[in-house]
Structures are given as C-alpha cells and as structure tokens.
Amino acid sequence: MPRGDLFPDIAPYETGLLPLSGGHVMYWEQVGNPRGQPVLFLHGGPGAGAGAVHRRFFDPGHWRVVIFDQRGAGRSRPLGELRDNTTPHLVADIEALRRSLGIERWLLFGGSWGSTLALAYAQAHPERVTGCVLRGVFLGRQAEVEWFLTGLKRVFPDAWAAFVEHLPPEERGDILGAYLRRLCDPDPLVHLPAARAWSQYEGNCSTLLPSPDTVASFAQDRTALGLARIEAHYFAHDLFLPKDGLLAHMGRIAHIPAEVVQGRYDMVCPAETAFDLVAAWPRARLTVVPDAGHSALEPGVRTALVGAVERFRRRG
C-alpha cells in the first residue's frame, strides 16, 4: 500500500523505560523536534501497541512526538499482564510520562481505543491538553462492545464464523467469557491460538477492502497476545470507564478543540459513535472519509489525519 501522503520514516531521538506501579514497565520514545510542539500518540486495542509507521503522521521538523506502549502492550513489560491494568492506571501512566519528560501541555492523537483513552485522559486532566485528533471513535459503551462480539456478523459473516468456530459449540453463548478463559490460560498452546483467532477477526474487519498485510500484522504472536488478552479483559470490565460513560463528562473538555476523522464504512467502530461524540462537543470538527473503514492507514483516513494535525500546527 503506498503511503506517500505520510511523512518519511524516522528513528526516535530518545527512548526509555519508565517503571510504573504493579511491576509494569512502560516503553516510550520521542521523535521529531526536541523543541517542537508536543503531541502524544495513543495506540489502539487496548493492547495493540505502537509501531514505526505511527511516527509518520507528524511533520518531524515541527512536532515533538511522544509515543508509548500502554501497560501489557508492545514493548512494555510484562507483555499481556492484566494485573493493575485499568483505564485509571493508563491515565495515571500518561501523567507520569508527561511529568518525567517535562512537558506542560500536549496535543492528543488517538484512534479506536486510543480515542477512548484520549477522552478519559482529557477529562481527568483538561489543563494538560491543547487539543485532540481522534479517529474511528470508540466510547466503550455496551452496545459498541456487543457490536464487535456479535453485530459484525451482519457484515462479515465469514470472519465472524472463523472467530466463533475457535470455541466449542457449547461455549458460544458467551463468546467473551470463553475467549477470556483461553486468553488467560498460562499454556501457550491454549492462549496463543485464541489470541490469533481474536486478533485476525479484528484485522479482517478493519479495512474497507481486503488487506492481507493488515491481517498478517494482527496475527503476529506478540501483537495478537497483547491485543486479544487485554482487549477481552477491558471488554469484560466495561472498559473501566465511569458508569455514566464518557459523554456524561464532556463539559470538562467543552473548551478544547478537536478534529474527529471517521471512515464512513468503519465496521469495527461504526460512524454513529463519532456523530454522537461531535454532537456533545461544541469545538469538535468531524471529517467523514467516504471510502474508508476503520484502519488509520487506509488512504483517505491517513490523508485526513495528517490534514487534521497540520491544522493544529497552524493554530500554534
């Protein structure tokens, strides 16, 4: 897939490991201009981890880009660890990282679960946020989780069939519980096949057109285990969000500007959620990409995201 509308590949100018509570250790990196405008990249999942391509949404001559892997994900340790792994923990981790790097305020950039975490952090620490660029919005509501687990069958019956066929027929009445038991089993012969099945299901449903490269990246053992185990854990606990949900607290960030990018045919996080968010956010601007699904790397989505970041650059 050509990615000429992204900025060129770039290596970090600094990396580190930040000890966290509960024995977790966070991997973080900084990319771009050390004296530039700070922006924090928040990866999806939960549990997916960040990759080198995520550095390329930002002009390295202007932005001081901070990227990290959330608890249990990617290069953070221990991989797939669920203890002390909740949304409040992640929000506290972001604050710990901000303080350790000496950053006063930053722009938040996140897609899918990254949009959820961005909203949770912004609502907890609005004074630290200059703005938000969000993509493929997920608010963690029960209907959104149920759509992922069962509703996607309406659009991707073949991918959904492969997803549930990993489970014995007698356990398919509780897909989440059956998967979570397997994903938490200490035996790799049990948890790795379950992780691959879960992750490949998500990968198959993430793009408008079939993308073998996307599915292959989701199927890699490290990616699959972090994504599937942590995602199922969060789904089983209502994403560790307030009982009245994120929309109930939008007043805390009503003054913060936002750019929301949404693929019209996003099946993982359908467009209705983005519209609900923007309706509750006076300073949010919505861009609907007419020929895209969920992935940040689909052509129209990545172009819109780069454009959204550049608009914040002009705001100063």
The token pair that represents 103 in the structure block: 């950053």
The Cα–Cα gap between 46 and 48 comes to 6
The token pair that represents 193 in the structure block: 């096949």
The Cα–Cα gap between 27 and 185 comes to 25
The token pair that represents 282 in the structure block: 């006076």
Per the CB < 8 A criterion, the answer to whether 286 and 308 are in contact is no
Query: Counting beta carbons within 10 angstroms of the beta carbon of residue 121, is it exposed (0 to 12), middle (13 to 18) or buried (19 or more)?
Result: buried
Question: Active-site positions?
Answer: 112, 266, 294
The Cα–Cα gap between 125 and 105 comes to 10
Any alpha helices (H) in the chain, and if so which ranges?
Answer: 87-101, 113-124, 142-149, 157-165, 175-183, 188-204, 212-219, 221-236, 271-279, 299-315
Query: Counting beta carbons within 10 angstroms of the beta carbon of residue 156, is it exposed (0 to 12), middle (13 to 18) or buried (19 or more)?
Result: middle
The token pair that represents 129 in the structure block: 């946020």
Query: What is the H or E stretch that residue 110 is in?
Result: strand 106-111
Per the CB < 8 A criterion, the answer to whether 262 and 268 are in contact is no
